[in-house]
Structure 1
């Protein structure tokens, strides 16, 4: 009796997954089910890596990554379009299995992403990302390896300094237009840490202090400046103004 119910439930899950797969494929087609435009592939990680000369990497650990920022793949970029809709039936069975896993709350492995600048590329988990896109997830948990551009244009130096600053402080919402300013800002946080260490008579974690500083020092001052005439005519990045104060 129970075996029959289990078989029926499994069959229903498979049928639901197959319908979801068909619906996802249909979503990439135009009016009347036809799309006369050539489907755009995902970006190839190796091509972007070569363009950016980004061969040195650092492990960022587990991150919640916006699905909108996943734009390519390391190996499967020809199997999906730019929205991770499958382009052929080779991936169908794997896609269906992943769909059943997601909708039955099964524990699926964390995807592995490679990052260059602000974009991510799937190393492992293309089907998981595809199904997550279909299910309208906003983010996905991922193990992230960041590859750093080494051609030293100013933009790339700023990007690299921003990445180092984020890794050391845990702060990801501060953007400065001069690379050296990240050093100055970190010194501000370290001074704040020394103050708190003395006040609490303990050696606090820098990332914990940075979060405290961001909420209680940086944001209030930034808000005050944004409401003041001082910043209204300033043409640069508002975050840079903080360092003048």
Structure 2
């Protein structure tokens, strides 16, 4: 164990708790001095994560040994511990020290219970055990795992603020149900851009149905928009060196709005691209 051992387990357990509390306070101070986002040290709430990603189902996995650093959130105890499961107050001290003492004496500690979302784990039961394991320098812990499937991939979630863009992306994909490579390639950085892009695709689909005199469902419109509008335009943007530091979807949104504002047209041709290039310069 990566801890100081005086040979008196009870005293060591007390020191373990005080050290964990001190580290939590110093971490908050450090974040404040670095002007880190407010949510950088807050445990991820399981319910908000699943809501943002879209719940699809779950299954029992059973007992597994999981990495402590993969445990990033909680079902209902987020206020008692920070993101690294350091105690945020003295409220949990008595139970915490009992578990630390049992661990130092080599007593059997029951597995924790977690939800698994992608590679992330959220504690259902066992917050104190996770906290003690971190304080004692352990890197893994035994857990009873229930895997939760979601509509969106949870990769990229680090802080609570990241859930906003996941939520907007989920809503966008419900409105514009892209699949496969199309789904993966249409990405923006600002959550609100997903709402604007959704409105744009729906308007594009309405014009398509008017032109053809045929009703199309959302999946058909999404596929047609991607293949006949988005891909050719992005190709032209690359050739005209108009993507820049944006994502391709952000570049598409910019030129689509500028095209109509400057030229009052929905068509794409060399004149349109030249006007947009001049606008950028």
TM-score bracket for this pair, using the shorter chain length = 0.5 to 0.7
Tell me how far apart the structure 2 counterparts of residues 133 and 64 of structure 1 sit (CA, whole Å). Answer: 15
User: What's the CA shift string for 1:196-241, capped at 9, x where partnerless?
Assistant: xxxxxxxxxxxxxxxxxxxxxxxxxxxxxxxxxxxxxxxxxxxxxx
Name the structure 1 match of 2:11. 15
Q: Do the aligned partners of residues 41 and 77 (structure 1) sit closer, same or farther apart at CA in structure 2, a change above 3 Å counting?
A: same
* CA shift for structure 1 position 14: 2.4
* CA shift for structure 1 position 117: 1.1
Name the structure 1 match of 2:136. 135
For the 8 Å contact 1:21–1:96, the answer to whether it is kept is yes
Name the structure 1 match of 2:73. 72
Tell me how far apart the structure 2 counterparts of residues 21 and 122 of structure 1 sit (CA, whole Å). Answer: 20
Q: Do the aligned partners of residues 12 and 40 (structure 1) sit closer, same or farther apart at CA in structure 2, a change above 3 Å counting?
A: same
Tell me how far apart the structure 2 counterparts of residues 91 and 66 of structure 1 sit (CA, whole Å). Answer: 23
Tell me how far apart the structure 1 counterparts of residues 26 and 132 of structure 2 sit (CA, whole Å). Answer: 21
In structure 2, stretches of 5+ residues that fail to align are 1-6, 33-37, 155-179, 182-281
Q: Do the aligned partners of residues 36 and 64 (structure 1) sit closer, same or farther apart at CA in structure 2, a change above 3 Å counting?
A: closer
- Tell me the secondary structure at the aligned position of residue 141 of structure 2: strand
Name the structure 1 match of 2:214. none
User: What's the CA shift string for 1:110-143, capped at 9, x where partnerless?
Assistant: 1001111110000010000001011111110100
* CA shift for structure 1 position 54: 2.0
Name the structure 1 match of 2:112. 111
Name the structure 2 match of 1:88. 89
1:147 equivalent to 2:143? Answer: no
User: What's the CA shift string for 1:78-101, capped at 9, x where partnerless?
Assistant: 111111000011111111011011
Tell me how far apart the structure 2 counterparts of residues 109 and 55 of structure 1 sit (CA, whole Å). Answer: 30
- Tell me the secondary structure at the aligned position of residue 76 of structure 1: coil
For the 8 Å contact 1:54–1:116, the answer to whether it is kept is no
For the 8 Å contact 1:113–1:122, the answer to whether it is kept is yes
* CA shift for structure 1 position 36: 6.4
Q: How many residues align?
A: 144
In structure 1, stretches of 5+ residues that fail to align are 1-10, 157-176, 179-245
- Tell me the secondary structure at the aligned position of residue 133 of structure 2: helix
Runs of 4+ in 1 over 6 A off after TM superposition: none
Name the structure 2 match of 1:236. none
Name the structure 1 match of 2:52. 51
TM-score normalised according to structure 1 size: 0.54
* CA shift for structure 1 position 55: 5.1
Give the superposed CA RMSD. 2.5
Name the structure 1 match of 2:24. 28
TM-score normalised according to structure 2 size: 0.47
